[in-house]
Amino acid sequence: MKIYNVTLWLLLMNLFIAFLGIGLIIPVMPTLMNELGITGKTVGNLTAAFAIAQLVSSPFAGKAVDKFGRKIMIVVGLFIFGFSEILFGIGNDIEVLFISRILGGISAAFIMPAVTAFIVDITTKETRPKALGFMSAAISTGFIIGPGIGGFLAEFGTRVPFFFAGGLGGVAAILSIILLTEPKRVEEKVEQDPKRPVGIKRIFAPMYFIPLILIFITSFGLAAFDSFFGLFVDHKFQFSPGDIAVVITGGAIVGAVAQVVLFDRLTRMLGEIKLIQYSILVSAVLVFMMTVVQSYLTILLVTFVVFVGFDLFRPAVTSYLSNIAGNEQGFVGGMNSMFTSLGNIFGPIVGGILFDIDIDYPYYFAAIVLALGIVLSLYWKQPAYGKARETNQV
């Protein structure tokens, strides 16, 4: 049990560090925009470069996780991550910053499916939902608290946050080499349906396609919300980097607590599908509310709660996919990462274009996309095979 706990927490730390690097850029972007003379569209493209690299790499990384092993993919991914953050810290040209973001996307494609498969391998069907809840909390907390940490460290220098993240990545890689042991592959028997697609075709089966599209939709909404939050409150309310750090750090804490305290209970009460539907609904409403809030207190409240919806969605959909993936956890983890990165591509790109027109438009559009996700989820039914929660069918 002690070895299990050390392994699990090291895996969670690796995910936290990797996704921390994504969010670090947000509070320093207003300063970088002034230094480099870039527009909101360029900011969106810079953020999307990370996701494009993750998208292209994810299918190959998912297969590599199953072929070469979990540990080696995690270690290589962490070293690439550390180098990409240091490169961003020393870069003074926009081209160098784009290269840094591309390398960061590749590192996330390596790390995310490998850690997911690792956790599935060391857990049972009974303990897995809780562990995946912790995993999602680490991802979301890293992604969300990144701007907070970046804002605090930026007080010492615009590039300090990236040197800090690069150092963390190197330390995590070394600890992973020393402390992680390649797990014994999970060999779960999944009841097969003769009509069940195989290989890449399985993505288009309703049991996979609908949750993967929902992953894209929620990633789009979160990317549109989070990527421009710093610019939004800077332009609309004249927030300082410290203000941004306080708001997003508070949101990260509330979201992480909700995942750890509520996710396992809500999954048992509602099942993954209903929990996913409610999570998207909460997210859609509160993303829209960001366009009408006026005071500092209401901004705090909306931001704190909006992340609860996003943070409960991810472990629910990851738990659902892992339960029906059988012995191809790396493949499904790669697909999860790929559709996440698709949302992370189009969210910042579309958001950047809309932001240059009107600062409220990215949030209007994100709310509409999330609402479409709610409608799509109504057509989602639990499969008759795999580990399903038949008592919670939609």
**Chain position carrying tokens 């230094």:** 35
**Chain centroid offset of residue 163 CA:** 22
DSSP 56-84: HHHHHHHHHHHHH-HHHHHHHHHHHHHHH
Alpha carbons 109 and 36: distance in angstroms, whole number: 29
What digits encode the pLDDT tens for the residues 294-332?
A: 777 888 788 778 777 877 887 788 778 777 766 666 667
- All structural domains of the chain: 2-181+199-392 (1.20.1250.20)
Contact 290, 302 (CB under 8 A): yes
**Least confident piece of the model among 77-86, 176-185, 276-285, 316-325:** 316-325
Is a pLDDT exceeding 60 seen at residue 384?
no
Q: pLDDT, tens digit, for every residue of 75-103?
A: 999 999 999 989 988 877 888 888 998 99
Contact 74, 109 (CB under 8 A): no
Q: Determine the Cα–Cα distance for residues 218 and 356; give it in Å rounded to an integer.
A: 23
Q: Output the six-digit token pair for 145.
A: 């608290």
Angle at 140 between CA 209 and CA 138, to 5 degrees: 110
C-alpha separations of 340 from 43, 131, 177, 358 in Å: 19, 20, 27, 26
The span from the CA of 340 to the CA of 142, in Å, is 15
* Residues sharing a CB contact under 8 Å with residue 199, sequence separation 6 or more, in sequence order: none
CB atoms within 10 A of CB 92: 9
Task: Give 39's contacts (C-beta < 8 A, 6+ positions apart).
Answer: 33, 352, 356
Q: What mean pLDDT, rounded, does the chain reach?
A: 78
pLDDT tens string 331-359 = 677 777 778 777 777 887 788 788 888 88
Torsion over CA: 186, 60, 272, 387 (sign): negative
Q: What is the pLDDT of residue 76?
A: 93
Lowest-confidence region among 47-56, 137-146, 224-233, 381-390: 381-390
Q: How far apart are CA 190 and CA 323, in angstroms?
A: 9
- C-alpha 372/C-alpha 142 separation (Å) is 27
Assess whether pLDDT exceeds 70 at residue 198: no
Q: φ, ψ for residue 127 (rounded to 5)?
A: -90, -10
Say whether 126 sits in a helix, a strand or coil: coil
Is 178's pLDDT higher than 80? yes
The C-alpha atoms of residue 74 and residue 109 are separated, in whole angstroms, by: 10
Q: Which of the 8 DSSP states describes residue 134?
A: H
